Amino acid sequence: MNAALLPSTLIGTPADDKNFLLAVEGLTVSFDGFKAVNDVSFYVDPDEIRVIIGPNGAGKTTVLDLICGRTKASSGSIKYKGQELTRLSESAIVQAGVGRKFQTPSIYDDLTVFENLEISFPRGRSVFGALTFKRDAEVRDRIHEIAQTIFLKDQLDERAEFLSHGQKQWLEIGMLLIQDPELLMLDEPVAGMSVGERIKTAELLNQIIKGRSVLVIEHDMKFVEDIAHRVTVLHQGRVLSEGSMERVKTDPKVVEVYLGH
Ligand SMILES: Nc1ncnc2c1ncn2[C@@H]1O[C@H](COP(=O)(O)OP(=O)(O)OP(=O)(O)O)[C@@H](O)[C@H]1O
């Protein structure tokens, strides 16, 4: 049928106009009547680095919790490659290709960098699988490739507990990358890092976006400028502004509630 003849309700919402990797629409969650996230919509393209910024309590972490299924939405929709995530369990969302890194690294201190990456390889995920896991060439090659990307190729045999704070963060990113998610979500990845480590993390993110998108929460504006293709600003659970960092940082509303402080 000619699109011009379709009733207007059937003609393209943004979510079906275009192949977004992630389409969040009207997302809302209430905690005891308090709307921590209130009618939030945003759209992430394939190969995009999107950064969510905003003051403390704006709802940024809650948005990531909703996308990864840790918190259930009160209403609204989260479509990942066209698939509705709000009805899926956390593990089904991981299976679908969404990886999430929390603020505190969850690496195994007493294992080496190699072993941490190895147990994160999809085939070795279960405890049983991890113990009986055969280090075939494919896995080894992938671990070396990831270690190179996360700047840890010379630390493969080092126990994770001896890594610096920044290296631990990179290792955890590596543990997600080895699962090859198409959407990678990172909550304040450079918090506590040195300036040098921040620059390298920006390099790392710019390197890994071929074939995937990254959704980052961050407060470090220099870092945001280095990585963001687009920025979404949240304030009191709502989208306050969105666009390039150039545009957002001169938006008077954003300056008033966040950047001017
Ligand atoms: N499980 C929960 N139960 C009740 N209130 C919650 C829950 N999770 C978050 N909140 C509240 O929702 C609001 C948004 O919190 P959220 O952690 O998403 O903000 P944020 O933008 O990530 O802040 P920050 O930059 O400080 O990390 C806050 O007022 C918080 O106290």
User: How far is the centre of ligand 1, averaged over its atoms, from the C-alpha of 43 (Å)?
Assistant: 22
- State how beta strands 213-217 and 230-235 pair: unpaired
* Residue 59 Cβ contacting ligand 1 at under 6 Å: yes
Query: Which atom of ligand 1 is nearest to 234's Cα?
Result: 21
Do residues 52 and 215 lie in contact, with contact meaning Cβ atoms separated by under 8 Å? yes
- The pLDDT assigned to 10 comes to 41
Residue 104 contacts by C-beta under 8 Å, 6 or more apart in sequence?
Answer: none
* Lookup: tokens for 46: 């394939």
Beta carbon of 31 within 6 Å of any ligand 1 atom: yes
Helix H or strand E segment including 65:
helix 60-67
Pocket test for ligand 1, best of 27, 52, 62 (most atoms within 8 A of CB): 62
The answer to whether the CB of 93 falls within 8 A of the CB of 87 is no
| 190 C-alpha to ligand 1 centroid (Å) | 20
Q: How far is the CA of 57 from the centre of ligand 1 (A)?
A: 5
Give the position, in ligand 1's atom list, of the atom nearest the Cα of 58. 21
**What's the gap between Cα 121 and its chain centre?**
19
199 Cα–ligand 1 center, Å: 28
Q: What is the ipTM score, two decimals?
A: 0.95
* Domain limits, the chain: 46-72+89-259
Which atom of ligand 1 approaches the CA of 59 most closely? Answer: 18
As a whole number of angstroms, the distance between CA 155 and CA 37 comes to 41
Interatomic CA distance for residues 163 and 256, integer angstroms: 40
Q: Nearest residue CA, atom 17 of ligand 1?
A: 61
> What is the DSSP code (8-state) at residue 245?
H
Rg (CA), the chain: 19
pLDDT at residue 40 in the model: 97
Q: Which two tokens stand for residue 136?
A: 């075939």
Q: Are 235 and 58 in contact (CB under 8 A)?
A: yes
| Closest residue by Cα to residue 218 from 169, 178, 151, 256 | 169
**Helix, strand, coil share (%) of the chain residues, nearest 5:** 40, 25, 35
Q: Cα separation of 131 and 138, whole Å?
A: 18
Per-residue pLDDT of the chain (261 residues; tens, 9 = 90+): 343 333 433 434 454 556 899 999 999 999 998 999 999 999 999 999 999 999 999 999 999 999 999 999 999 999 999 999 999 999 999 999 999 987 776 899 999 999 999 999 886 444 555 555 555 788 899 999 999 999 999 999 999 999 999 999 999 999 999 999 999 999 999 999 999 999 999 999 999 988 899 999 999 999 999 999 999 999 999 999 999 999 999 999 999 998 876
Ligand 1 pocket, residue 12 CB under 6 Å = no
- pTM for the structure as a whole: 0.87
Cα(41) to centroid of ligand 1, in Å?
A: 18
Superfamily for domain range 46-72+89-259: P-loop containing nucleotide triphosphate hydrolases (3.40.50.300)
